[in-house]
Amino acid sequence: MKTLKMIFISSAVMLLSVSLAAQPKPWVVPANFKAMKNPVAQSDASAKLGMGFFTKNCASCHGKTGLGDGVKARTLKDSPGDFSKADFQSSSDGDIFYRTKTGRGDMPKYEGKLADEDIWNVVNYMRTLKK
């Protein structure tokens, strides 16, 4: 009985540690980026440009409409998230710009791959993905 109790406790500790390890760490955005204003005005033309960059660079993981259901999504360690949800849409433009530019983990960085103006157009497109 004592051995069974030890096995149960050990199993519970292992499950808890695996569960905690699976939780994504908060993605801290520096204050100077959080406060950034998008220099590219929100417009149909900007959103259309952003959609092109998004389709080419982001949709394979984030899905065509940003729901996190792209063909590569199930192979990722962390969920790519759902851009239509309020928690994403309540992020500042600077938050989204920073995360897109710098990347983290499975999310590649686009610094040096896309011009800042192109990333801002992607931000404008992502704003159209609200529910």
Q: Residue 94 CB: number of other CB atoms within 10 A?
A: 19
Give residue 12's pLDDT. Answer: 52
Give residue 96's pLDDT. Answer: 96
Mutual orientation of helices 116-126 and 93-102 as an angle, nearest 10°?
A: 120
State the pTM of this model: 0.80
Q: What are the mean pLDDT values of the chain's consecutive 10-residue runs (131 residues total)?
A: 62 51 75 95 97 97 96 93 94 96 95 97 96 75
Name the residue ranges covered by the structural domains of the chain.
28-129
Give residue 46's pLDDT. Answer: 98
- For tokens 């192979």, name the residue: 75
- In degrees to the nearest 10, what's the CA dihedral of 120, 122, 124, 126? -140
Closest by CA to 39, choosing from 93, 84, 77, is 93
Show the DSSP H helices in the chain as ranges.
2-22, 31-34, 44-57, 59-62, 86-89, 93-102, 116-126
Which residue type does 70 have?
Answer: G
Give residue 19's pLDDT. Answer: 45
Pick 28-129's CATH classification: 1.10.760.10, 3.30.70.260, 3.40.50.10490, 3.40.50.720. 1.10.760.10
Give residue 31's pLDDT. Answer: 94
Give residue 20's pLDDT. Answer: 45
